[in-house]
A and B are shown apart, each in its own frame.
Chain A
């Protein structure tokens, strides 16, 4: 009998738990540890943030589902890792602390045979002074509660605009090394459309602020894509959309301080500037959770497990941008020191950025971190689960399932406005996610045709269809496993 411990119940952790439970017999134990009581379908937070969807439509409680499916669940947060156990506990374990219920505040050594670290990122708002969701007129859509809050702020602003007040709206990234530009991109387009729906668009000046060097970088170094019968660069497509919607932009901006209605930022030229606003939604930097790890003698071995995020089978050798290779990226998400530990989704430490790193003239890093959200999180979690299943069933280590971001396609269906007949979406697929300049030297590392963009109502329907399909899948309804990650 084996015990598989999964830390985190987001897209990655939940996908791993679902597949493990489905494919392993009940003699094997699957346990999820998460401080969150609900599963949330994060991509739909955008619609919560504009008041077109209630947060209850994008979440459901985990405990009843896990109980029904025979998955153990502890509402607790991981504190430290003991991959060799300790003097009193011979099995490896994770020290965790309950965050709710009768055991709140109690700590427990949760043992495991296999560990899947799917803790995702820490939303590092502290990295930017004054960037606190709901304060200083700044908001976030990173969680459903943040998105709810953002909608209340936006609604109050729309009411003021209806009385004749002119306002400034600032949306984008709130730190020089933020990622997840896609979420901010979706939100700015949705806000713009909502203002038109409320007939107050002319009362607002909307500005995109981002650490990207060019529009459409999205932390992926931009892309060359097929668009209809043309081949466009992603910045050309995003520029077309922004100009058409009357959205201004500030690029190469590392926001470093927020005051009430004022964003302070440094640009790549090294100038320190400010931008005023009445409503801002700024994505924070992501960071690791700061976990510690100890060996059986309780010596600190954190550097064997973590490099900010968790160390996996990537090539972390520092090298200049020109020498980066797609082969540096991990394939199995297995920790090289402790081979029963895996980190799929956002929890693994990337070997390097995807976008070319840039610094301001003052030395401040102003370039996007690599995005590893949504679909790749699900795919990497499933392949980790499949490798563990094969290993348990065969009795010997099996790593036959591989999935490098350099050999994996991703779809980003970015909402550009909500509404069954008035909605819009920007559908972009990228293959591969990490550009492979050896295979595709003439098309910026990606395969044309498989890397394409489309704009229109169908994109909105697609995103809505994915919303319902993935919540159905997450609830593990009949034949859920037929829906791909």
Chain B
């Protein structure tokens, strides 16, 4: 086992307060990526 994630990084990954804001941020960002539309690839949008 090699420690690849530092203690500080781990603290940030698991701290509920930091992660609460990260949860809000991720929810919005994911919503933006997946719900911002989709379409074809063969014809350019006019």
Mask, A158-180, CB within 8 Å of B = 1, is: 00000000000000000000000
Most buried by A among B32, B38, B42: B38
Mask, B1-25, CB within 8 Å of A = 1, is: 1111100000011111001101100
For residue B42, which residue of chain A has the nearest CB? A327
- For the complex formed, measure the closest distance between the CB of B43 and the CB atoms of chain A, giving whole angstroms: 9
Please determine whether A457 and B33 come into contact, CB atoms closer than 8 angstroms: no
Contacts of A240 in B (CB 8 A): 4-5
- For the complex formed, measure the closest distance between the CB of B37 and the CB atoms of chain A, giving whole angstroms: 9
- For the complex formed, measure the closest distance between the CB of B26 and the CB atoms of chain A, giving whole angstroms: 6
Contacts of B14 in A (CB 8 A): 421-422, 424, 456-457
Within 8 A of B (CB), among A396-411: 402-404, 406-411
Please determine whether B33 and A429 come into contact, CB atoms closer than 8 angstroms: yes
Docked complex Cα distance between A452 and B3 (Å)? 23
The interface-forming segment of A144-152, A243-251, A271-279, A295-303 is: A243-251
Mask, A407-425, CB within 8 Å of B = 1, is: 1111101000000011010
Contacts of A431 in B (CB 8 A): 33
Contact of A407 among B23, B27, B38 (CB under 8 A): B38
Give the total of A residues in contact with B, Cβ under 8 Å: 42
Please determine whether B5 and A427 come into contact, CB atoms closer than 8 angstroms: no
Say whether, besides A424-B13, A455-B13, A457-B13, A327 and B41 are in contact (CB < 8 Å).
Answer: yes
Mask, A444-476, CB within 8 Å of B = 1, is: 000000101011111101100100000000000
Contacts of B23 in A (CB 8 A): 458, 461-462
Contacts of B26 in A (CB 8 A): 427, 454, 458-459, 462
- For the complex formed, measure the closest distance between the CB of B11 and the CB atoms of chain A, giving whole angstroms: 10
Within 8 A of B (CB), among A232-259: 240-241, 243-246
Contacts of B3 in A (CB 8 A): 244
Q: Is A186 an interface residue (CB 8 A)?
A: no
Please determine whether B38 and A429 come into contact, CB atoms closer than 8 angstroms: no
Q: Is A223 an interface residue (CB 8 A)?
A: no
Most buried by B among A241, A327, A461, A484: A461
Contacts of B35 in A (CB 8 A): 484
Contact of B1 among A244, A326, A409 (CB under 8 A): A244
Contacts of B36 in A (CB 8 A): 409
Q: Is A375 an interface residue (CB 8 A)?
A: yes
- For the complex formed, measure the closest distance between the CB of A377 and the CB atoms of chain B, giving whole angstroms: 13
Docked complex Cα distance between A27 and B13 (Å)? 53
Q: Is A379 an interface residue (CB 8 A)?
A: yes
Contacts of A244 in B (CB 8 A): 1-5
Contact of B22 among A246, A422, A454 (CB under 8 A): A454
Please determine whether B40 and A331 come into contact, CB atoms closer than 8 angstroms: yes
Please determine whether A462 and B30 come into contact, CB atoms closer than 8 angstroms: yes
Q: Is A436 an interface residue (CB 8 A)?
A: yes
Please determine whether A409 and B33 come into contact, CB atoms closer than 8 angstroms: yes
Docked complex Cα distance between A393 and B32 (Å)? 31
Contacts of B38 in A (CB 8 A): 379, 383, 402-404, 407-409
For residue A416, which residue of chain B has the nearest CB? B13
Docked complex Cα distance between A379 and B34 (Å)? 10
- For the complex formed, measure the closest distance between the CB of A480 and the CB atoms of chain B, giving whole angstroms: 15
Docked complex Cα distance between A241 and B3 (Å)? 9
Please determine whether B39 and A404 come into contact, CB atoms closer than 8 angstroms: yes
Docked complex Cα distance between A458 and B18 (Å)? 9
Contact of A456 among B22, B32, B40 (CB under 8 A): B22
Q: Is A39 an interface residue (CB 8 A)?
A: no
Docked complex Cα distance between A324 and B44 (Å)? 19
Docked complex Cα distance between A407 and B37 (Å)? 9
- For the complex formed, measure the closest distance between the CB of B1 and the CB atoms of chain A, giving whole angstroms: 3
Please determine whether A456 and B39 come into contact, CB atoms closer than 8 angstroms: no
20 further A-B pairs in the complex, CB-CB below 8 A; given A402-B40, A407-B41, A454-B26: A244-B2, A244-B3, A244-B5, A327-B42, A331-B41, A402-B39, A403-B38, A403-B40, A407-B40, A408-B38, A421-B16, A429-B30, A450-B32, A456-B14, A457-B13, A458-B22, A458-B23, A461-B19, A462-B23, A462-B27
Interface residues of A (CB under 8 A from B): 240-241, 243-246, 326-327, 329, 331, 375, 379, 383, 402-404, 406-411, 413, 421-422, 424, 427, 429, 431, 436, 450, 452, 454-459, 461-462, 465, 484
30 A-B contacts (beta carbon < 8 Å): A240-B5, A241-B4, A243-B4, A245-B1, A331-B41, A375-B34, A383-B38, A403-B39, A403-B40, A404-B39, A404-B40, A407-B39, A407-B40, A409-B33, A410-B34, A411-B30, A411-B33, A411-B34, A421-B14, A424-B13, A427-B26, A427-B30, A450-B32, A455-B5, A457-B16, A457-B22, A459-B26, A461-B19, A462-B23, A462-B27
